[in-house]
């Protein structure tokens, strides 16, 4: 979604901002803009890519050592140059950029229009700058005007403002949208996430909701909305700078697919102790007695993270023997869910900023549920709203199509299931040792699958022109099928559906003909015979079947058109392996169709609006 980058210091701001915005491109955007201040404010905007604006800015030799930039993902108003941020007030003395949605913008806009303010864009964001200007006309004080405007907003926002009236300061505020500050020497930064800041400084201040900040070249002052100064901790970011670079890969997605063995090792290291048959977490936030009191688990998430939750449901119920429900975060809060202090809500989110998941967490908190988040981004909003957090240690995930987040989320859920089962005395030390040993084998098995990528590419070459794909599986593999279909549709724009193979004959079978590739996750487990029958049903209707099968299953070759073998493993862990070929199949299909894998159209990496 929208990305913000701001700089105040003694270097040329436009260069810093363009480099910063390039690092935010992965979030998804359709237009961009930059404002700098050199005595006077100047704005440059464009529809399209950051590199297009870079050319425009270079040709104008844009000067100024203070500036703000924005990548916009359109919500209110089409992706046009006028709707792109920054937005000016009527005297062109104040500019703002905004990420989020102002829910009461219509009412504010109507009032401002009555007072003679003219709007040039269709955005909800433009009200902010006019509100600041309206207050400034009376108060002559930008700090007061900024906070006056912010307090009138309902909805979500991360806002950054600079003004000719107070050129030595930059103003920031946030509510439910991410915004952090990079503290440098003789210069300061702000951004929607840490990736564009890291090359300048590792000293980060996380702004909290209902706080505003004022940056100058050599100071950062944070206050709450009552105007009281808040002492903020400066956190040293430990993110490896290589994590935010593509390295030798063409796309982040491919890099991230290959990082999965390492990400899983990082997620289990220092938490799983095979010899002791034990799992330990640092920030679980809920003590064992409280956990023993839990009588129900609700997992809530969106997209890929939801699919990980659906996989986790199997082993939480099996190992820890606690009833589990998995619910779309966007639906959760609107159906008045029955939860209480004995409910554990597990919120899963790679970014920790997904608005729907955050809203579900807030709802669950109000109902007194205990909350653990499974999250990849330290310090993100969802982790701060939760009682405890299990960090997935996937490293920065930049590709919009989530890959290593999915496999590390499943890893975290698997570890948590064993942890819970152990404190409940449902499994003994030997059983836990066995389960953990199997988990430790997974990274090497993934490496073996990655070696098959040429074969997967050949399969992609056969099917990439098809308009539609069906993905089938049963049990855990049903949710892998859903995840495989999601990957295919989001990056290749091919229509794809993930179904329980058993459900196929209740509808989707009508779609099958010789043009329909059907990807079937058909592993050697207790559903194998049944899924083999489902494959026969597809073949009887001339469908083309690509099977993900267990190594050694020679029989399946006779039933299907193409096979990708994966190593045998525990059924509970099979999703981590079987999803790898599906990630690669989607990747190669998208490449063959000429799609930009890391920045698929209309999508955003972290969806910070509901
Ligand atoms: C996955 O490939 C997606 N792009 C998307 O479904 C994502 O998983 C979803 O938006 C949730 O994001 P989160 O994990 O950051 O909360």
237-249 pLDDT tens trace: 887 777 777 888 9
Supply the pLDDT for residue 357. Answer: 96
Output the six-digit token pair for 326: 């998995």
Supply the pLDDT for residue 57. Answer: 78
Supply the pLDDT for residue 247. Answer: 83
**Cα distance between residue 220 and residue 205, in whole Å:** 9
Q: Which part of the chain has CATH 3.40.50.10490?
A: 244-449, 453-592
**Cα distance between residue 610 and residue 607, in whole Å:** 8
Name the pLDDT band for 165 (thresholds 50, 70, 90). very high
The residue whose CA is least distant from atom 9 of ligand 1 is: 303
Supply the pLDDT for residue 177. Answer: 84
CA 301 / ligand 1 centre spacing (Å): 9
**Cα distance between residue 530 and residue 503, in whole Å:** 12
Q: What is the mean pLDDT of residues 51-73?
A: 85
- Decide if pLDDT at 604 tops 80: no
Q: State which of 607, 608, 609 you would mutate to test the pocket of ligand 1, scoring each by most atoms of that ligand within 8 A of its C-beta.
A: 607
Is residue 343 within 8 Å of residue 298, measured between CB atoms? yes
**Cα distance between residue 479 and residue 499, in whole Å:** 8
Instruction: Indicate the range of 24-28, 180-184, 389-393 predicted with least confidence.
Output: 24-28
CA 92 / ligand 1 centre spacing (Å): 38
From edge to edge, which strands make up the β-sheet containing 343-349?
324-328, 296-301, 343-349, 370-375, 388-391
Q: Is 605 a catalytic residue?
A: yes
Q: What are φ and ψ of residue 499, in 5° steps?
A: -130, 155
Which of helix, strand or coil describes residue 177? coil
Q: 492 versus 58: which is more confidently predicted?
A: 492
State the first-to-last Cα distance of the chain, in angstroms, to the nearest integer: 12
The ligand 1 atom at the shortest distance from the C-alpha of residue 401 is 2
Nearest to residue 365, comparing CAs of 341, 391, 381? 341
Supply the pLDDT for residue 18. Answer: 94
Annotation: CATH topology of 453-592: Rossmann fold (3.40.50)
Q: State which of 354, 389, 601 you would mutate to test the pocket of ligand 1, scoring each by most atoms of that ligand within 8 A of its C-beta.
A: 354
The ligand 1 atom at the shortest distance from the C-alpha of residue 486 is 2
The ligand 1 atom at the shortest distance from the C-alpha of residue 357 is 16
The ligand 1 atom at the shortest distance from the C-alpha of residue 607 is 10
CA 397 / ligand 1 centre spacing (Å): 11
Torsion angle of the four alpha carbons 221, 222, 225, 229, in this order, in degrees rounded to the nearest 10: -70
Q: Domain spanning 3-238: which superfamily?
A: Aminohydrolase, N-terminal nucleophile (Ntn) domain (3.60.20.10)
For Cα atoms 246, 22, 167, give the angle at the middle one, nearest 5 degrees. Answer: 145
Q: State which of 353, 392, 402 you would mutate to test the pocket of ligand 1, scoring each by most atoms of that ligand within 8 A of its C-beta.
A: 402
Q: 266 versus 605: which is more confidently predicted?
A: 266
Count Cβ neighbours within 10 Å for each residue of 502-533 and write b for 16 or more, e otherwise. Answer: bebeeebbebbeeebbbbbbbbbbebbeebbe
CA 466 / ligand 1 centre spacing (Å): 25
The residue whose CA is least distant from atom 6 of ligand 1 is: 303
Q: What are φ and ψ of residue 484, in 5° steps?
A: -60, -40
Q: What is the mean pLDDT of residues 225-248?
A: 86
Supply the pLDDT for residue 156. Answer: 87
pTM above 0.85, yes or no: no
Q: Mean pLDDT over all residues of the chain?
A: 93
Q: State which of 192, 304, 373, 408 you would mutate to test the pocket of ligand 1, scoring each by most atoms of that ligand within 8 A of its C-beta.
A: 304
Q: State which of 26, 301, 302 you would mutate to test the pocket of ligand 1, scoring each by most atoms of that ligand within 8 A of its C-beta.
A: 302
CA 562 / ligand 1 centre spacing (Å): 29
Supply the pLDDT for residue 603. Answer: 81
Report pLDDT digits (tens) over 381-431: 899 999 999 999 999 899 999 999 999 999 999 999 999 999 999 999 999
CA 288 / ligand 1 centre spacing (Å): 31
The residue whose CA is least distant from atom 4 of ligand 1 is: 401
The ligand 1 atom at the shortest distance from the C-alpha of residue 354 is 16
DSSP code per residue over 76-132 = SS-S-TTTSSPEE-TTS-EEEEEES-BTTHHHHHHHHHHTT----SS-STHHHHHHH
Supply the pLDDT for residue 580. Answer: 98
- Decide if pLDDT at 59 tops 90: no
The gap from C-alpha 73 to its chain's centroid, in whole angstroms, comes to: 15
Alpha-carbon distance values, 132 to 27, 59, 96, 165, 378 (Å): 28, 32, 10, 12, 33
The residue whose CA is least distant from atom 5 of ligand 1 is: 303
Residues whose beta carbon lies within 6 Å of some atom of ligand 1: 302-305, 349-351, 354, 357, 400-402, 490, 603, 606-607
Q: What are φ and ψ of residue 512, in 5° steps?
A: -80, 130
**Cα distance between residue 392 and residue 314, in whole Å:** 19
**Cα distance between residue 187 and residue 52, in whole Å:** 27
The ligand 1 atom at the shortest distance from the C-alpha of residue 351 is 15
CA 511 / ligand 1 centre spacing (Å): 28
Q: Which part of the chain has CATH 3.60.20.10?
A: 3-238
- Decide if pLDDT at 178 tops 90: no
Supply the pLDDT for residue 590. Answer: 97
CATH architecture of structural domain 244-449: 3-Layer(aba) Sandwich (3.40)
The ligand 1 atom at the shortest distance from the C-alpha of residue 402 is 2
CA 177 / ligand 1 centre spacing (Å): 16
Report pLDDT digits (tens) over 250-283: 999 999 999 999 999 999 999 999 999 999 998 8
Q: What is the mean pLDDT of residues 432-453?
A: 96
Nearest to residue 546, comparing CAs of 489, 510, 573, 584? 584
- Decide if pLDDT at 29 tops 90: no
Q: Which listed residue (16, 93, 453, 605) is catalytic?
A: 605
Q: Which listed residue (2, 135, 272, 595) is catalytic?
A: 2
Sort 55 into a burial class: Cβ within 10 Å, 0-12 / 13-18 / 19+. exposed
Supply the pLDDT for residue 26. Answer: 78
Supply the pLDDT for residue 205. Answer: 95
Q: Residue 86: is the preceding peptide bond cis (ω within 30°)? A: yes
Name the pLDDT band for 605 (thresholds 50, 70, 90). confident
Find the helix or strand (DSSP H, E) in which 356 lies: helix 355-366
Which of helix, strand or coil describes residue 201? coil
Which of helix, strand or coil describes residue 139? helix
Q: 526 versus 188: which is more confidently predicted?
A: 188
Report pLDDT digits (tens) over 493-540: 999 999 999 998 898 889 999 999 999 999 999 999 999 999 999 999
Q: Is 2 a catalytic residue?
A: yes
Q: What is the mean pLDDT of residues 76-95?
A: 93
**Cα distance between residue 91 and residue 131, in whole Å:** 13
Which pairs with CB-CB distance under 8 Å and at least 24 residues apart come from 254-258? 254/587, 254/597, 255/399, 256/394, 256/397, 256/398, 256/399, 256/403, 256/404, 257/403, 257/404, 257/450, 257/580, 257/583, 257/584, 257/587, 258/450
CA 304 / ligand 1 centre spacing (Å): 5
The residue whose CA is least distant from atom 10 of ligand 1 is: 303
């Amino acid at each position: 979604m929208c990305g913000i980058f701001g700089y105040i210091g003694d270097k040329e701001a436009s260069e810093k901002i363009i480099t910063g915005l390039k690092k935010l491109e992965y979030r998804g955007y359709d237009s961009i803009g930059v404002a700098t201040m050199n005595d006077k404010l100047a704005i440059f905007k464009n529809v399209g890519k950051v590199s297009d604006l870079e050319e425009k800015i270079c040709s104008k030799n844009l000067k100024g050592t203070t500036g703000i930039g924005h990548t916009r993902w359109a919500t209110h108003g089409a992706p046009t140059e006028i709707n792109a941020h920054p937005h000016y007030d009527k005297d062109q003395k104040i500019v703002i950029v905004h990420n989020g949605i102002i829910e009461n913008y219509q009412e504010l806009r109507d009032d401002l229009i009555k007072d003679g303010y003219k709007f040039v864009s269709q955005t909800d964001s433009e009200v902010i700058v006019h509100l600041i200007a309206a207050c400034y006309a009376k108060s002559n004080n930008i700090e007061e005007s900024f906070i006056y405007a912010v307090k009138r907003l309902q909805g979500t926002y991360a806002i950054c403002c600079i003004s000719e009236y107070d050129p030595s300061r930059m103003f920031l505020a946030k509510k439910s949208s991410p915004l952090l500050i990079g503290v440098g020497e003789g210069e300061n930064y702000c951004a929607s996430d840490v990736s564009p800041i890291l090359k300048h400084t590792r000293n980060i201040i996380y702004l909290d909701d209902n706080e505003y900040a004022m940056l100058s070249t050599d100071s950062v002052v944070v206050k709450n909305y009552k105007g009281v100064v808040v002492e903020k901790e400066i956190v040293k970011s430990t993110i490896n700078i290589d994590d935010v670079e593509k390295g030798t890969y063409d796309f982040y997605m491919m890099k991230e697919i290959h990082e999965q063995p390492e990400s899983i090792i990082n997620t289990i290291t220092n938490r799983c102790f095979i010899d002791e048959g034990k799992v330990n977490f640092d920030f679980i936030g809920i003590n064992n007695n409280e956990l023993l009191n839990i009588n129900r688990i609700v997992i809530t998430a969106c997209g890929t993270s939801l699919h990980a939750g659906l996989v986790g449901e199997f082993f939480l119920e099996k190992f820890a023997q606690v009833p589990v429900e998995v619910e779309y975060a966007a639906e959760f809060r609107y159906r008045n869910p029955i939860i209480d202090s004995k409910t554990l809500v597990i919120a899963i989110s790679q970014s920790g900023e997904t608005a729907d998941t955050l809203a579900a967490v807030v709802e669950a908190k109000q109902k007194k549920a205990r909350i653990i988040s499974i999250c990849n981004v330290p310090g993100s909003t969802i982790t701060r709203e939760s009682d405890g957090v299990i960090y997935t240690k996937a490293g920065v995930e930049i590709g919009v199509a989530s890959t290593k987040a999915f496999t590390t989320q499943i890893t975290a859920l698997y570890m948590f299931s064993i942890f819970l089962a152990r404190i409940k005395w449902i499994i003994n030390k030997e059983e836990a040792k066995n389960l953990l040993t199997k988990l430790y084998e997974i990274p090497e098995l993934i490496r073996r699958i990655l070696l098959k990528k040429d074969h997967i590419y050949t399969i992609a070459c056969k099917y990439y022109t098809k308009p539609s794909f069906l993905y089938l599986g049963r049990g855990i593999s049903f949710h892998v099928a859903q995840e495989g279909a999601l990957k295919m549709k989001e990056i290749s724009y091919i229509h794809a559906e993930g179904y329980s193979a058993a459900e196929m004959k209740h509808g989707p079978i009508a779609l099958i003909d010789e043009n329909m590739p059907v990807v079937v996750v058909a592993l050697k487990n207790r559903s194998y015979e049944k899924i083999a029958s489902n494959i026969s049903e597809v073949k009887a209707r001339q469908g083309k079947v690509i099977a993900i099968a267990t190594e050694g299953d020679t029989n399946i070759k006779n039933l299907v058109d193409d096979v990708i073998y994966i190593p045998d493993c525990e059924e509970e862990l099979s999703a981590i392996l079987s999803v790898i070929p599906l990630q690669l199949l989607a990747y190669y299909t998208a490449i063959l169709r000429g799609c930009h894998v890391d920045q698929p159209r209309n999508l955003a990496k972290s969806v910070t609006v509901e």
